[in-house]
Amino acid sequence: MGETTVKSLDDRTTPSSPIVDGGRFARLRARTPRRPTIWFEVALIGISYWLYSLTRNAVPEQKAEALKNADWIWKIESSLGLAFEHTVNHAVNSVTWLIVSMNYYYATLHFVVTIGVLVWLYRWHPGRYAAFRTVLFATTGVALVGYYLFPLAPPRLMNGVNFVDTVLVHQTWGSMASGNLKHVSNQYAAMPSMHIGWSLWCGVTIFLLAKAPWSKILGLLYPAMTLVVIVSTANHFWLDAVGGMLCLAFGFAVSYFWYGSRPHRLPKLVEPAASTPRRSGPPPEEGTDREDGKTPSDDAERPVSSGR
């Protein structure tokens, strides 16, 4: 009574997380994973990103407050002896091919890799897809709260610190908040960094689910490289990255509360909704493939009646 089961495609019944009878949140937790529907997921992701962009850009920019907060962040990092963004920004900017590559990295991989991981989950881990998608959505949602409560100018827009805006200097389209596109995006929504939130979501997901060691390594390298990029291009402080990590932790907590299990602990595969009902009795022994538990050889060995 206190445990639900999910039947995987390989005909094995996998128990999901237990539901405590009579618990305050019994009706909310331990949702049974369902097979995702492609058209619904595409529409959901598209509409959600549109609403995210609309909400993020609708947050009052509060330029004076954002610049004040940037000075405050810079003082905190300086007091910790970890205000290294300026040094990294100028060092990488001196290598043209490297900083141009990072500009394009910042502009493209943020979306390409995230969508790619979602597709990979949908295709190869449908039983876990919804839970990991919930993590991503909750992470992004709580980030909007941060943009509203703590407007923050990126380092490249600070006064008197002489950061290099690498997009403007090298005339690339590495950021929606620079150049000709700066008027259609909130330039003061730097805390938390969703470049880190999303890339870390991708990296953790790949690390937890991928089988090949090289895939796990690449999964961990991706958010690490993203951190280098956001600092080198002067789009974020490293403390913005910490904010993105905290948002991701919140996303995993929401998913755990909703499904009653960590996403990677859910069954990999789930059967379609219109499947054959499960048997109430024990599963047939190994080597059988019929509802009555008999093997085809049982019928072959049965003597045939002559009818007399």
Q: How far apart are CA 296 and CA 263, in angstroms?
A: 39
pLDDT at 173: 72
- The stretches in the chain having pLDDT less than 70 are 1-33, 174-184, 271-308
pLDDT at 36: 75
Amino acid at 275: S
Q: How far apart are CA 224 and CA 199, in angstroms?
A: 9
Q: How far apart are CA 70 and CA 79, in angstroms?
A: 14
pLDDT at 44: 84
pLDDT at 175: 55
pLDDT at 29: 52
Angle subtended by helix axes 238-259 and 126-149, to nearest 10: 130
pLDDT at 302: 47
Q: How far apart are CA 244 and CA 198, in angstroms?
A: 8
pLDDT at 92: 97
Which residues, including other chains, have CB under 8 Å from residue 173's CB and lie 6 or more apart?
Answer: 103, 107, 167, 179, 181
- Give the DSSP letter of residue 13: E
User: CA distances (Å), 98 to each of 11, 63, 95, 124, 208, in order?
Assistant: 51, 31, 5, 35, 31
Q: What's the whole-model pTM score?
A: 0.77
Which of 44-54 are b and which e, b meaning 16 or more Cβ less than 10 Å from the residue's Cβ?
A: ebeeeeeebee
Q: How far apart are CA 174 and CA 104, in angstroms?
A: 5
Q: How far apart are CA 193 and CA 200, in angstroms?
A: 11
